Amino acid sequence: EKSENTNWYKGPTLLSSFNDLMTIQTSPNEKLRIPIQNVLRTDSSRFYAGKLASGQVKIGDIVKVLPSNTIATVAEIIGSDNGDDVTKGLSIAIRFDSEIDVSRGEIVVSNSDLDSPSRVYLSELIWLTNKPHQNSNSYLLKCGPMEIPCTISDVKYVRDMESQAQI
């Protein structure tokens, strides 16, 4: 909803611009990624809540929690219409077959995922200032609930916010 304080602005709201961004087509073989956003405790168990960012998960899957490399089996999934098998985009809560220590900001991946942590990443980001970036500057990258110091080494392309075309 547009603010009464910016009646001079005739363009779309920031939130609607984000929602209108072109979605990236993904492969059905995407790697499992569930950034943990909250830990829900009941009298007898813990559920780990997050939005399934990619891949799919089902009851019985063996998963790994990063960065601790703790391994567990998915015992229950809450938030799925399907009950025991969920795919990308759903907000879910999962319970493991054993009590493990998982904190907000950690990421659940498939146990068979061979990716290792890296100091170099290729990513798309939204630059929310008119001031251009400087390769030598240090920035804070918000990744889930964490803020990670980073630098930008190279810009591959820029996307026009209205047409979504690479420029």
Indicate whether 146 pLDDT > 50.
yes
User: For the CA atoms of the chain, what is the radius of gyration?
Assistant: 19
> Pairing state of beta strands 91-96 and 70-78?
antiparallel
CA atoms within 13 A on the CB side of 81: 3
Length of the chain: 167
CB atoms within 10 A of CB 139: 14
Confidence at residue 71, expressed as pLDDT on a 0 to 100 scale:
94
- Sequence-ordered list of residues with C-beta below 8 angstroms from that of 20, at least 6 positions apart, any chain: 12
Confidence grade of residue 118 (pLDDT, cut at 50, 70, 90): confident
| Nearest 10 degrees: Cα torsion 128, 131, 134, 140 | -30
3-state secondary structure 70-100: EEEEEEEEECCCCCCEEECCCEEEEEECCCC
CA–CA distance, 102 with 142 (Å, rounded to integer): 20
Q: What is the pLDDT of residue 3?
A: 79
Instruction: Enter the pTM of the model.
Output: 0.61
* CA nearest neighbour of 40 among 4, 92, 85, 80: 92
Across all residues in the chain, what is the average pLDDT?
A: 83
Residue 56 confidence (pLDDT) above 90: no
Q: For a pLDDT cut of 90, what percent of the chain falls above it?
A: 26
pLDDT interval class at 54 (50, 70, 90): confident
